[in-house]
Amino acid sequence: MLNELIANTMPFMPKSFVRLFAQKYVAGKYPEDAFQYTEDLNREGAVGTIDLLGEFTEEREKARETVDMYKHVLDNIVSRKLGTNISIKPTAFGALVNMDFCTENIREVVKYAYEKKIFVRIDMEDHPYTDFTIDLYLQLNKEMPGSCGTVLQSYMKRTLKDIEYIAENIDRANIRLCKGIYNEPEEVAYKDKKKVNENFLDALDLLFKNKAYVGIATHDDYLIDGSYELIKKYGLNKDDYEFQMLLGVRSELRKKLLADGHLLRIYTPFGEDWLPYSIRRLKENPAIVGSAIKGFLKGGK
């Protein structure tokens, strides 16, 4: 309860104090931090997906800066031979400014990545952008087959229908499946944890049935066990799916998944706009607060 209380008061605390708790979730402020962390992940046997933090921008100039930064990231993935792809958010590319402007910015980055044979994950944000994100994913894959994938969230009531819609429009979808983190209204999202978990496994079952490649993004033992059962049910090989985790979460699970021979991808965010992302993660997982306090009291050990 104390951890949850502290997590909920984080938005009102000084940034320097929040950073104490948030640093496990973010690679750093600069792209070099993400590159270094990715190299460490690769040595460990995992791969990454690099994400520039800074969504919901209302400035054209900042959206264009995001395009340029991702090109810089893609250049370094090639030159450094990093085992990683990239994740992008429509609102960081100008969705709040103009949808056509956003679409062209994202197309530019996806094309740049496609020419370098690097996959792009178009992240899913809150529900006003769901239709746009799915349709953009399908559109870009028609233009550049296999260039990108998107994300579906099991707390959304529409997810099973979205899977059917995607399956009707693409031969083999590439989907990251996660629970979802945005504070959505009850009319569009499940609030009961049990129902969210049930929908996750139902969605994963339907995705596998439709021969999608799925990034199974969870740290929940119940969902991982359920995923194993579905992998067995469909007789999948280990190159038919992957597991995905957040940076700084459940290192023991990370080691187990790698030891079991699964492909594991770690979400690796960086950027100066780390504060909103970190606060969302701390609210989602208040236990990290207690862990950080213990580390601080032990002098960082």
* Active site positions, annotated: 123, 176
Candidates 168, 55, 183, 42; CA nearest to 126 is 183
- Cα-trace Rg, the chain: 19
DSSP H helical ranges for the chain: 2-9, 15-22, 31-44, 60-79, 99-115, 130-143, 159-169, 193-209, 221-233, 251-259, 274-284, 287-297
Compute the distance between CA of residue 173 and CA of residue 299 in angstroms, rounded to an integer.
Answer: 47
Question: Can you state the angle between helices 15-22 and 274-284, rounded to 10 degrees?
Answer: 60
- Distances from the Cα of 121 to the Cαs of 19, 175, 251, in angstroms? 27, 9, 23
